[in-house]
Amino acid sequence: MSADELNVVLLVTTAVLLGCVTAVRLLSGAGLPTLLVFLCVGLAIGESGLGLDFDDAALTQVLGSVALAVILAEGGFSTDLRVVRPVGWLAGVLATVGVFVSVGVTSGLVYVLLDVDVRTAVLLGAVVSSTDAAAVFSVLRRLPVKGRLRAVVEAESGFNDPPVIILVTVVTSSAWSEAGVVGVGAMIAYQLVVGAVLGAAVALAGQWLLSRSALPAAGLYPLATVALTFLAFAVAGVAGASPFLAIYVAGLTLGNARLPHQGTTTGFVESLAWLAQIGLFVLLGLLASPARLPDALPTALVVGAVLTFVARPLSVLVCATPFRVPWREQAFISWAGLRGAVPIVLATIPAAVGLQGAERVFDVVFVLVVVFTLVQGPTLPWAARRLGVTEPVAPRDVSIDSAPLDDLHATLVQFSVGPGSQLAGVEVAELRLPAGAVLSLVMRGGEVFVPGPDTTLRAGDHALVATSREARGAVEERLRAVSRSGRLAGWYDDVRASRATTPVGR
């Protein structure tokens, strides 16, 4: 590639990237996954638009897998384990039993209603049965939905990709005719269990190492954290386990650990996830052929209707009823099962292995994702209100970051007083920080000063606490407690904790 050609490629790439970023800003309040806009951008610059011809399904599958790994890592990293833990069993059942119920119902009805063979019916059912993490995160995190209900849907979308990926791989390989039901079940169980264990083990080892390291530059911490998640991905892949579950569990573990420069790392991982989403959807749009899509519309409508109105509600009913989830919340979980990049990427696997009818499967899945995301995404806020599963917008938790001072055996903890935080109005002395910690600096309105015991914190303040390493965890817990409950946090949190033991829906 010559220098001139490189300049043209960079010009087009950056123009597409900036255009997609602008689209996110313009459409952020529409309740619609902006990822669909990225698909349209890919279609616009593809064979029927600007004429860029791209039809490499194998390359798309490889790049798509890497992009999905980044998205899952960010999804785990940004998920609060304190919220997910109480609903972990429900999310796990939805991501496993629920997926297989959905695959079975969808495949059976597609085989009966459409003129397809058994293998194609199972393939279509498997490809479209998992909810998409990127689509779910992009919509639900803007809605004032009950925290535990949101946690169920988000955790399910992170956990249910690996079982479906394994199932699609089996259906498109020789194992379809060689492995029995018991063999396939054992294969799936091994990949899920070992993938989760390896993801957690790599993340815990990385957490131990990072928390005791004083790297020479703050920017090295985000790089090291992302590298650890991909180390989990690679280790699980080499071990024959599920790399996608491993990277999600690794992200979940690291995101909920006390790491240096946590805030910087969170922003870096989020940026990588956006880049992965934009690149993935533009690539999938490029791979699609607009001229073939209208012919796939009738089949896509049948498969999508079966999935959305029969298979998904039935799978939620089977899985959520034993957990005594009210029917209104079951209805919302069912309607919030958005599809996105995952089904389309999975639809490239048959083409990559040369399976007969793979082109038709890809077209059907592509149209299904676009049509039903357009239907479900914008109506989710309305559905949440009608089903009574919304709650008042809660103030964000206090933003805390920290950096180790290796030579001094100390740590600097930085926090910001956000809108709605109960830290606003609290005097420094009322923080009652642990021994070995002191609030040393406050920045307010661009000015930095040393606070006194009677200095009152205000919304928008940025503060710096110097603390010993041993007291760091207690300092962060105290700041978060005061941010939630104010100066009476020590007493109020104990009372509230004794009442916060009800399951989802209670």
Q: Tell me: the pLDDT tens digits for 247-293?
A: 989 998 998 887 777 777 888 888 898 888 888 888 888 888 888 88
CA-to-CA distance for 465 and 329, rounded, in angstroms? 42
pLDDT score, position 178: 66
Q: CA triplet 186, 152, 336: central angle to 5 degrees? A: 105
8-state DSSP, 213:
-
Q: Which of 39, 180, 89, 154 is nearest to 503 (CA)?
A: 89
What b-and-e string marks burial along 475-506, b requiring 16 or more CB atoms within 10 Å of the CB? bbebbbbbbbbbbebeebbeeeeeeeeeebbe
**How big is the CA angle at 159 (ends 267 and 85), to the nearest 5 degrees?**
75
Q: Which of 427, 442, 438, 439 is nearest to 486 (CA)?
A: 427
Contact (CB, 8 A) for 473 and 211: no
**Which domains does the chain possess?**
30-387 (1.20.1530.20), 399-497 (3.30.70.1450)
Residue type, 312: R
Model confidence pLDDT, tens digit, residues 297-321: 999 999 999 999 999 999 999 999 9
- Paired strand residues for 442: 449, 463
Q: What is the pLDDT of residue 319?
A: 93
The predicted structure's pLDDT at residue 305: 92
Question: 3-state SS string over 224-254?
Answer: HHHHHHHHHHHHHHHCCCCHHHHHHHHHHHH
CA distance 122 to 177: 13
Picking from 153, 156, 236, the residue whose alpha carbon sits closest to that of residue 194 is 236
Chain-centre distance of CA 413, in angstroms?
Answer: 27
DSSP class of 95: I
pLDDT of residue 202: 95
Q: What is the 3-state secondary structure (H, E, C) of 248-314?
A: HHHHHHHHCCCCCCHHHHHHHHHHHHHHHHHHHHHHHHHHCCCCCHHHHHHHHHHHHHHHHHHHHHH
- CB neighbour list of residue 446: distance below 8 Å, 6 or more residues apart: none
Distance CA 142, CA 419 (A): 17
DSSP string, 473-492: HHHHHHHHHHHHHGGGHHHH
The helix/strand/coil state of 501 is coil
Reduced to 3 states (helix: H, G, I; strand: E, B; else coil), residue 324 is coil
Q: Which two tokens stand for residue 81?
A: 């384990």
CA 51 to chain CA mean position, Å: 33
Give one word for 321, left, alpha or beta, with left for phi > 0 and alpha for psi -120 to 50: alpha
The answer to whether residues 312 and 334 touch, using CB atoms and an 8 Å cutoff, is: yes
**pLDDT one digit per residue (tens) for the chain, 506 residues:** 677 778 887 888 888 888 877 777 666 555 456 677 788 888 888 776 777 777 787 888 888 889 888 988 888 887 777 777 888 889 889 988 998 899 999 999 999 888 888 888 888 888 888 887 767 766 776 777 777 788 888 888 877 877 888 788 878 877 666 666 677 778 778 888 899 999 999 999 999 888 777 777 778 888 999 999 999 999 999 998 889 889 989 998 998 887 777 777 888 888 898 888 888 888 888 888 888 888 889 999 999 999 999 999 999 999 999 999 999 999 999 998 888 777 888 888 887 777 777 888 888 888 998 888 888 888 888 888 888 888 764 444 556 666 666 556 678 888 888 877 888 888 988 888 888 889 888 988 888 899 988 899 988 888 888 888 788 888 888 888 888 888 777 654 443 444 444 444 44
Q: Work out the angle between the directed axes of helices 57-77 and 220-238 (0-180°, nearest 10).
A: 120
Enter the pTM of the model. Answer: 0.73
